[in-house]
Amino acid sequence: MRILVVEDDEMIGESVVDFLESEDYAVDWVTDGQSAILALRTTPFSLVILDLGLPGLDGLQVLREVRSRNDATPILVTTARDTVDDRVQGLDSGADDYLIKPYDLDELSARIRALLRRSAGRADPVITRGLLTIAPATREVAYDGKPVILSSKEYALLTALAERPGVVWSRNQLEEKLYNWDNTVGSNAIEVHIHHLRKKLADNAIKTVRGVGYILET
């Protein structure tokens, strides 16, 4: 899952980015509203963490621009403004959730999981697909009842495939989910991760659709 952090405060931005990377998300960070709009026009993100008080275009303007394009990416607004009016205005401008600064990183993490679950149309906090189960809250994975230990990228790749069952993912789409702008991605990186996942789960757990991409076998 790839997350865009929009935050002009260096210290908060760094701590949020470090924390999200430790939770196996691919993270990009911009510090102003214009860059946020550009990023969202060019890159598919699973979720945005948006500060309201930004230099230039503020967070509310970013929200309105994104929603006016009918972009439904989940947006979690964070702000030091904590009047009811501010919260109402944020939600009415298209925010999906709200956190008042200073906030706890574990709460941020839980709210992200809830938003991702909702945007995938899933009520159950555990993802179950055939023999596979994934518990995002603990990042525990099991296949055919047995626990499976995955690397951070393997976990991210498997979650992407499992979150949208029946969808064939191209290599390019998977790279965009797993790597941020700073990463140089080797041309066979996805193939290597798929190979490892098949070894750890089962040979037929992930199908190759020739010339198109990969799909989870359910």
For residue 127, what are the contacts with CB-CB under 8 A and spacing of at least 6? 133, 134, 135, 136, 159, 162, 163
Smallest gap from Cβ 90 to Ca ion, in A, equals 14
Span from 6-14, 31-39, 142-150, 188-196 in contact with Ca ion (CB under 5 A): 6-14
Size of the site for Ca ion (CB under 5 A): 3
Smallest gap from Cβ 51 to Ca ion, in A, equals 4
CB-nearer residue toward Ca ion: 24 or 51:
51
The Cα–Cα gap between 71 and 136 comes to 25
Span from 3-11, 68-76, 84-92, 140-148 in contact with Ca ion (CB under 5 A): 3-11
The Cα–Cα gap between 157 and 175 comes to 9
CA distances from 138 to 8, 110, 125, 142 (A): 30, 11, 11, 12
Place of tokens 């797993």: 178
Which two tokens mark 58?
Answer: 């503020």
Q: For Ca ion, what does the binding mask look like between residues 127 and 146, x meaning CB under 5 A?
A: --------------------
Residue 26 CA neighbour count, 13 Å, CB half: 25
Smallest gap from Cβ 78 to Ca ion, in A, equals 9
CB-nearer residue toward Ca ion: 9 or 71:
9
Rule CB under 5 A: is residue 86 a binding residue for Ca ion?
A: no
Rule CB under 5 A: is residue 165 a binding residue for Ca ion?
A: no
Rule CB under 5 A: is residue 81 a binding residue for Ca ion?
A: no
Closest to 204 measured CA to CA, from 189, 192, 216, 191: 216
Rule CB under 5 A: is residue 8 a binding residue for Ca ion?
A: yes
CB-nearer residue toward Ca ion: 7 or 23:
7
Which residues between 39 and 58 bind Ca ion (CB under 5 A)? 51, 53
Radius of gyration (Cα) for the chain, nearest Å?
18
List residues near Ca ion by CB under 5 A: 8, 51, 53
